[in-house]
Structure 1
């Protein structure tokens, strides 16, 4: 009764079946939960690191005046915070191993688990907390470069819209096989032009792929100019953003 009373005060329930100690599968489940949480945080960190690469450069960690990115190369702006988070996530995942090893204790309980738990239990919690605070700071101070995002989207001369055209053609009665052939045929022409160094847009700002599609007689027999141009609308890909945010943060 005393146990139930004390646990209730803490909002907890007594272990239904224990021996000298609570079975260590409980702890292992906790360790794996922390490992998964750390991995999810790392997922964001890796994305920031990728976006900060010179050849991508769509976003980067905040870089303070006078901050050093490299002791040998003064020009560098390394993503040191997210690199740090990535390394810490590896440590927290590693702590799941001793937690699993502790499940099979001898008889009702030996003391082999004690030494590992003195390390991984406090360190896993403290490190996870540190990661969360650091990632929160990274996101809050993230520098985002939409101009570079648009530049990267235009690198392939509008080929990012090929799927839209592929999906639209069958709606107009074209077979999937023929639609794929038409869309791919023009896409390969664009790749060849890009390899030759041809500009990916004309003076009107029209992408190379759009130009080829508008000039394809077989395609134009099924799609009007308006329908083709609508396939190149970026807004199509963000139309559900508000709904997704509401679903996630409700």
Structure 2
């Protein structure tokens, strides 16, 4: 991933040197278990386990230019630095993917741990904003059109609930990826028996793939990247909301705009939702990576190498991107500029139309048939849409409104208060009882 979207801690996990250190850790774990099993010479194993070979990336790259095989280049680089007897038992009974897939799971688990930490931080921001705006009235929209009054905080409440599900999905994805293999070239445990394989993997905090081929099954990786893409889609959902609400005609919220920031090289007045737009674009990229992972599931027979080139890109890039997206969107939401006065102006913009359902039900309570009440309110509402007055006035003068319809009953419907009466219960449902009134 390009440096622009790479945060330090996550990016470091996918550096070549870190990857090779994990490879060395896996090789030593395998040697230790094989020594305890009595499958390799104990003195040779001891020499390897006590050695401290350096990770010489340039030397490995030099060897790889000749061998055109990264694992062989790695093993050669290590062999050059360990005693001769130890070289005989290095990588004993293993195939390249025993090393690569097992190590890959280890650094993906590290990446997931960082993502879980960032998810916790992000969820905390959503919770904080939900509580801050539990009394901020705004207009709810469906199809982009004004519907009814809502509390601005319930937007954050909805997102908080959604990210609670994502945290559970990410926990499940972590368990799905907590696998490795040491079962050899065709997965049939010819040279390293299943019990020894388990010992190796357990020592690394992993469990064995149920029935591996030459590789760990790639449905696992597809599920993992699908989870990341789904989290990205939810971040996009938030981003799109901010972009709509920051439109000049709406202007209910704005992204933070810091001193010295510029919005346009041509138009000095511009304050654009560039952060939310950035998140929207990166979510598209995450989805494309998940699609690529689906293509990797159907490998030939016991394995081909078509997945390798894909995973070298999509696995690190997906983790790095989502880490960046969570951090950036968290910053946007934490310092989001909210305009309650503009929200109130927008509530009043349509001349009481946002209370049409409340008025309809009030008329029904006076004894009018629902069909009749609906026709009267809709007709009055269409007049209000045409600019002929507030809904209260177009309704009061409607020729079909019977005298029996007590105006004190239906005029009281033009109030936002009833729309807040169950907000505390909704907050308690999502955040817990301590968040009630």
Paired residues, what number?
238
For 1:108 and 1:235, how far apart are their aligned partners in 2? 65
For 2:363 and 2:224, how far apart are their aligned partners in 1? 51
Q: CA deviation at 1:222?
A: 4.8
Q: CA deviation at 1:110?
A: 0.5
Q: CA deviation at 1:230?
A: 2.7
> Aligned match of 1:104 in 295, 298, 310?
298
Q: Which residue of 2 aligns with 1:192?
A: 386
For 1:10 and 1:118, how far apart are their aligned partners in 2? 22
Q: Which residue of 2 aligns with 1:233?
A: 415
User: Given that residues 174 and 222 in structure 1 are in contact (C-alpha distance below 8 angstroms), is that contact kept between their aligned partners in structure 2?
Assistant: no
Q: CA deviation at 1:245?
A: 2.6
Q: CA deviation at 1:160?
A: 1.0
Q: In the superposition, relative to structure 1, how do residues 27 and 166 fare at CA in structure 2: closer, same or farther (>3 Å)?
A: same
Q: CA deviation at 1:244?
A: 2.3
Residue 317 (structure 2) pairs with residue 135 (structure 1): no
> Aligned match of 1:247 in 422, 425, 429?
429
Residue 287 (structure 2) pairs with residue 93 (structure 1): yes
Computing the radius of gyration over CA atoms, which structure comes out larger, 1 or 2? 2
Q: SS of the counterpart of 1:151?
A: helix
Equivalences for residues 144-223 of structure 1 within 5 A: 144-193=338-387, 208-216=390-398, 218-219=400-401, 221-223=403-405
For 1:58 and 1:10, how far apart are their aligned partners in 2? 51
Encode CA deviations 1:71-95: one digit per residue, 9 max, x unaligned. 1110000111111111110100110
Structure 1 alignment gaps of length 5 or more = 195-199, 201-207
User: Given that residues 214 and 228 in structure 1 are in contact (C-alpha distance below 8 angstroms), is that contact kept between their aligned partners in structure 2?
Assistant: no
Q: CA deviation at 1:192?
A: 2.4
Q: CA deviation at 1:15?
A: 2.4
For 1:209 and 1:242, how far apart are their aligned partners in 2? 29
Q: SS of the counterpart of 2:387?
A: helix
Equivalences for residues 7-26 of structure 1 within 5 A: 13-26=207-220
Q: SS of the counterpart of 1:78?
A: coil
> What's the TM-score, normalizing by structure 2?
0.51
Moved more, 230-239 or 209-218: 209-218
Q: CA deviation at 1:12?
A: 5.4
Q: CA deviation at 1:150?
A: 1.0
> Aligned match of 2:275 in 77, 81, 84?
81
Encode CA deviations 1:95-154: one digit per residue, 9 max, x unaligned. 012101001000011111011001000110110011011111111000000111111111
Moved more, 214-223 or 226-235: 214-223
Runs of 4+ aligned residues of structure 1 deviating over 6 Å after TM superposition are none
Encode CA deviations 1:202-224: one digit per residue, 9 max, x unaligned. xxxxxx11223344475464543
RMSD of Structure 2 on Structure 1 (CA): 2.1
> Aligned match of 2:406 in 221, 224, 229?
224
For 1:69 and 1:54, how far apart are their aligned partners in 2? 14
Q: SS of the counterpart of 1:68?
A: coil
For 1:92 and 1:222, how far apart are their aligned partners in 2? 60
